[in-house]
Amino acid sequence: MALTYPLSYAQFLGALRVEEVTFRLSHPQEHTRLGDGTVISASLGASLWTGTVRLAQANHPRHAQMEALIGLTDQPGATFLCHDPRYLGPAGDPSGAILGSRTVTIHSVASTMRELRLTGLPSGYPLSAGDMLGFPYGANPVRYALHRIVVGGTASSTGLTPMLELVPNLRAGAVAGLTVSLIRPACKARLLPEPRYGSGRQALSRGASFDFIQTLR
């Protein structure tokens, strides 16, 4: 049966042997310097997650499997769920054992779209600067928000956090009641053109890598 997009973690990233990764937030902007030394900045578009994935060397058959997946996702319209492979869960609960099977949701969103509160957490659950969270929102297509916490906080006895400041800013569609993921939160991404398939020598192939960027469609 043909795979459907976006490919899940297990279908794509989890099936690769990732050796090195960069994962960062890109803010497209322009700067104008005035005569008095003032610098004016202006946004040129949405802030999106982007990065590079480099694959470990492997024997030829295993490398061919990874090349097949790269070839699949290099096609127009192909997307996959992407998270920072270095990040599994919050610093205070990296395996998610404390969180367990609890359903965490957005309680409220600040009018500035820079902060939100979460509910449904265990009492005293800590969320720290650098922790990440994600949630799907919208329809046709479903979009996948991914945010990093800048100012964290600790859940109350009822499981409610204080306002958490995030980057990037929240987008329209982030509303109370949406289910939030704290363990391997992901965005939807696509490959940038010209992935590198690497080369083979004797029993091993090496050098494969690709660049990716978040897509909101």
DSSP class of 29 = E
- Region for residue 186 given its phi and psi (left: phi exceeds 0; alpha: psi -120 to 50; beta: otherwise): beta
* Mean pLDDT, the chain, whole residue set: 94
Tell me the C-alpha distance between 149 and 157, whole Å. Answer: 21
- The band of 200, judged by pLDDT with boundaries at 50, 70 and 90, is confident
Residue type at position 138: G
Query: What pLDDT does residue 86 have?
Result: 85
Check pLDDT > 90 for residue 30: no
Tell me the C-alpha distance between 111 and 94, whole Å. Answer: 30
* Location of structure tokens 């070839």: 71
pTM of the model: 0.91
Among 163, 99, 107, 95, which Cα is nearest to 135's?
107
Percent helix, strand, coil in the chain, to 5, is 10, 40, 50
Tell me the C-alpha distance between 13 and 5, whole Å. Answer: 13
Q: Tell me the β-bridge partners of 42.
A: 30
Span of 8-22, 42-56, 92-106, 168-182 with lowest mean pLDDT: 42-56
pLDDT tens-digit series, residues 158-179: 999 999 999 999 999 999 999 9
Q: Which helix (H) or strand (E) holds 154?
A: strand 153-154
